[in-house]
Chain A
C-alpha cells in the first residue's frame, strides 16, 4: 500500500513534470494566425518576417502585433525576425521618420488581438502556441512541431 502510494506520487510528479515541460515549450512557441478566405495558405519564415517588417511580400496582409515586453513578442522576435527588440525599435524609427513605412498596429492583450484578427479580414498576428483561436482563422505558421 505504502509502495503504491509512493509510486502514484512518483507517477504524478513525472506527469506533472512532463506537463510543465510541455507548458514551457508552448509558452516559448508561437503561431501566426490570419483571417483569410483560403484556409490552405502556409507561409515561410521569410514571408512572415517581410510582412511584420513592412517589406514587400507576395501576400498582402495587415500585420498586428503584441506590445514590446510580452513573452510572445520576445519569442517572435527571436525565432522569426531574428533581431532584438531594441534593433527592431531602431529599425522602425528609421522607417517612420524617413516616411517609408509604419510599425504594425499594437494590441495589448492576446485575447483582444485574437478578437481583432477574427473581425478583420486579411489581418495577421502572432499569438502564443497555447492560445485558443476561432475556427475561421488559419494558422499559417508555427514554431512548434505540428
Chain B
C-alpha cells in the first residue's frame, strides 16, 4: 500500500472512530454505520499496453478501497447519509462520495437531495461495492467509458405495485463539476442540466428489468488538446479546432434484464450513448452473462461488446501547399486519431466464492480484443507492437459490514 492510501486510510479510520464514539452518544436506533471494501490484485499478459491502469505486472492499487456509510435518522422519515471512501488508486478522489438528505413523505415516495451517485446503469451506483455483483471488473464496455460517477442535485423515487409487478420510477436533476477519468488521465469536466429517469422493477418475483434515459450538457477540458485546438483556431482552421472540442450534449439510453433463480442466473444489458460532438463517439454496447450456482460457489461467463461509431476528421487544412501547413495537417491528423475510441470485445470467465455471509472471494480472467483508443487500451511504447489482444487476470476479496 502506498503512503497516500495509508494517509487516506488513517483519515477514514479516524472518521469512523469519531462516528463510533458519537454513536455511543446517540441512540443506536438513530445511527447506522455500515461499509464495504475490496482488495483486488490484477495484471495483464501484454507488455505493450495498459488497460484501466493494469499493466504486465501485479498491481493491488487499481481497485482496492475501503468505505464507510453513515445513516443518521433525524426524524422517522428524514435521514442523512454519508459515504466516505478511501481508494488506493491515485487517479480517484478519496473523501466524501455521497452526502445527501432523504425524506420519505409517504411510504411509496422517497426524495433525496445532495451529492449522489449517477444511476446510469444497473450497477453504476454501486460500482465500488464489488460485493453487489458477480465480477471483479464489470463489463468495461458498459461501466467506465465516458462517465462521471457523482452528481449534485435531487432525485425523486416512486414505488408502485401492480399485480405481479413491483416497480419504481426515479427522476433526477443535477450537475457535476469535477474530474472525469479516461485511462490514467483526469480531465476537468462540467456537466450541466443533467437529467434522467429510471424505470425499474421486478416481475413475478425473480425477473428484474431496468430502463433509463439520461441527458446532459457537457464540457471536458482536455488540456493539451485544447491548447492545440486554440492554436488551430488562431490561424483560421475553425472546423479542425471545433472537431477537437469536447463539449456538447449527450443522451444515454439503457435497458437491462436479469433473471435470478436458486441455481442459476442470467443477465443482459444494453446501452447507447449519442452525442453531437466529434470527439465524443457514439457508442453502443451490451453484455450477456450467465451464472451457475454451486453453493457457496458461482461460476459465471460474460460476453461483452462495444461498438463505436467513428467520426470523420475535419478537412479544412490543405495538404501539399506549404511545408508548415503539411506539418499542421499531420499534427492535426495524429491528435485526432489519438482521441478516437475503439471497439472492444471481451469474454470473462469468473468464479465467486461466498466464504461467509458478508465476505466473498473472486477470481476471473478476461480476454479482450480491441484497438488502442481513449476508452480502451493505452500504448506504453511502440503503438504498432500491440496485437489488439489482451488477457487480464484478477483476484479479489469483497466484504461488507
B156 to chain A minimum Cβ distance, whole angstroms, is 13
Does chain B have a CB within 8 A of A27? no
Task: Output the nearest chain B residue to A69 by Cβ-Cβ distance.
Answer: B357
Q: B293 to A56, Cβ gap below 8 A? A: no
Q: Which residue of A lies closest to B155 (CB)?
A: A99
Give the complex CA separation of A53 and B205 in angstroms.
Answer: 9
- Is B59 in contact with chain A by the CB < 8 A criterion? no
Chain A 89-105, CB within 8 Å of chain B: the 1/0 string?
11101101111101000
Residues of chain A with a CB closer than 8 A to B107's CB: 60
Q: Which residues 192-215 in B have Cβ within 8 Å of A in the complex?
A: 201-202, 204-206
Chain A positions within 8 Å of B34 at CB level: 96-97
Q: Does A56 lie within 8 Å of B206, measured CB to CB?
A: no
Chain B residue with the shortest CB-CB distance to A68: B357
A87 within 8 A of B: yes
Please state if A55 and B132 are interface contacts (CB–CB under 8 Å).
no
Q: Report if A99-B102 is in contact (Cβ < 8 Å); known contacts: A69-B357, A82-B261.
A: yes
Which residue of the partner chain, among B67, B69, B262, contacts A84 with CB atoms under 8 Å?
Answer: B262
A86 touches B296 (CB 8 A): yes
Q: Is the CB of A49 within 8 A of B205?
A: yes
Q: Which of B111-162 contact A (CB under 8 A)?
A: 112, 116-117, 119, 123, 125-126, 129, 131-133, 157, 159-161
Is there a chain A Cβ closer than 8 Å to B287's Cβ?
Answer: no
Instruction: Give A64 Cβ to nearest chain B Cβ, in Å.
Output: 15
Q: Which A residues are in CB contact (< 8 Å) with B81?
A: 99
0/1 string, B152-180, CB within 8 A of A gives 1: 00000101110010111000000000000
Q: How far is the CA of A89 from the CA of B357 in the complex (A)?
A: 7
- Cβ of B262 and Cβ of A96 under 8 Å apart? no
Contact of B260 among A87, A89, A94, A100 (CB under 8 A): A87
Q: Is B83's beta carbon under 8 Å from chain A?
A: yes
* Smallest beta-carbon distance A91→chain B, Å: 8
Contacts of A98 in B (CB 8 A): 117, 119, 125-126
Q: Say yes or no for B400: interface residue by CB 8 A criterion.
A: yes
What DSSP secondary structure best describes chain B's contact surface?
strand
Please indicate the chain A residues that have their CB under 8 angstroms from the CB of B293 in the complex: 84, 87
| B residues near A90, Cβ cutoff 8 Å | 131-133, 360
User: How many chain A residues touch B (Cβ–Cβ < 8 Å)?
Assistant: 30
Tell me how far the C-beta of A41 lies from the nearest C-beta in chain B, rounded to whole angstroms. Answer: 15
B393 at the interface (CB under 8 A from A): no
Task: Pick from A50, A57, A82: contact of B262, CB below 8 A.
Answer: A82
- Indicate if B36 sits at the interface (CB-CB under 8 A): yes
Q: Is B108 an interface residue (CB 8 A)?
A: yes
User: Which chain A residues lie closer than 8 Å to B205 at the CB level?
Assistant: 45-46, 49-50, 82
Q: Across the interface, which residues of A come within 8 angstroms of B360, CB to CB?
A: 86, 90
Q: Tell me whether A83 is interfacial, beta carbon within 8 Å.
A: yes
Interface of chain B residues 304 through 344 with chain A (CB within 8 A): none
Are A99 and B161 in contact, with the CB atoms below 8 A? no
Asked if B108 and A99 sit within 8 Å, CB to CB, the answer is no
Q: Specify which chain A residues have a CB less than 8 angstroms from the CB of B157 in the assembled complex.
A: 100
**Residue A22 lies at the interface, judged by CB distance under 8 Å to chain B:** no
Extra contacts, 20 of them, besides A55-B202, A56-B168, A93-B131 (Cβ < 8 A), are: A49-B205, A50-B161, A55-B161, A55-B201, A56-B108, A56-B159, A57-B166, A69-B357, A82-B261, A83-B206, A84-B295, A87-B260, A87-B265, A89-B400, A93-B132, A96-B69, A97-B126, A98-B117, A99-B98, A99-B125
Interface residues of B (CB under 8 A from A): 32, 34, 36, 67, 69, 81, 83, 98, 100, 102, 107-108, 110, 112, 116-117, 119, 123, 125-126, 129, 131-133, 157, 159-161, 164, 166-168, 201-202, 204-206, 260-262, 265, 293, 295-296, 298, 354, 357-358, 360, 400
Give the interface of A toward B (CB within 8 A). Answer: 45-46, 49-50, 53, 55-58, 60, 68-69, 78, 82-87, 89-91, 93-94, 96-100, 102
Task: Give the 6 A-B CB pairs with smallest separation, nearest first.
Answer: A86-B354, A56-B159, A55-B166, A94-B132, A98-B125, A56-B161
